[in-house]
Amino acid sequence: MRALREFDSEGRDGRTESRLGRFPSWGTRQFRRDLRSRFMSLIGIEQLVFVGGKGAVVAFDRFDGVEAWSWEAEPQAGWVAKLGIPAYLSVALDGDRLIVASPKGVWCLDPLTGAEVWKAETSAFRGGYPVIAGAITGQDGGATAAAMGSAAARQAAASGSAGMGI
């Protein structure tokens, strides 16, 4: 049985790589990095591109692809770890903070350095991607994570270590 995959009329799959150069307005490839994961989220700011994937977030210089920093999530626990399922991470930006969602919780990182600002762990296996609603950060469909993220952000703001504007 063959896995389903989108192909265009010329028999190429729908990945960006197969389409580069097809239209001049799409530009040319500047760099390529093997991230060893097929499930990734990607977002960028002025100088950096952030990729969340299999157990880590990596920041690359958006012009030459040089790795600026990387951050590894805490490993999975319980039955998920026994099955060898890695934590797939998703990223979002909120002003001067990089928000990372994993099955174990929500983390806030400094996007320039990768330093951890705060974290809010969840007790149940959850997946998803960060959703930012004002000063509340959480996982899609995870109201508990949003409340925990907000509480952690308030605590960090009270200690003077968060730039969340709370």
Task: Say which residue, 156 or 65, is predicted with more confidence.
Answer: 65
Question: What letters, b where the CB count within 10 A reaches 16 and e where it falls short, cover 120-148?
Answer: bebeeebebbbbbeeebbbbeebeebbeb
pTM over 0.75: no
CA atoms within 13 A on the CB side of 151: 9
Q: Whole-angstrom Cα distance, residue 39 to residue 52? A: 9
pLDDT of residue 80: 65
pLDDT at 113: 95
CA distance 98 to 124: 23
Domains of the chain: 34-158 (2.40.128.630)
Residue 3: predicted pLDDT: 39
pLDDT in tens, 98-155: 998 887 788 899 999 999 999 988 766 566 656 665 554 444 444 444 444 555 555 5
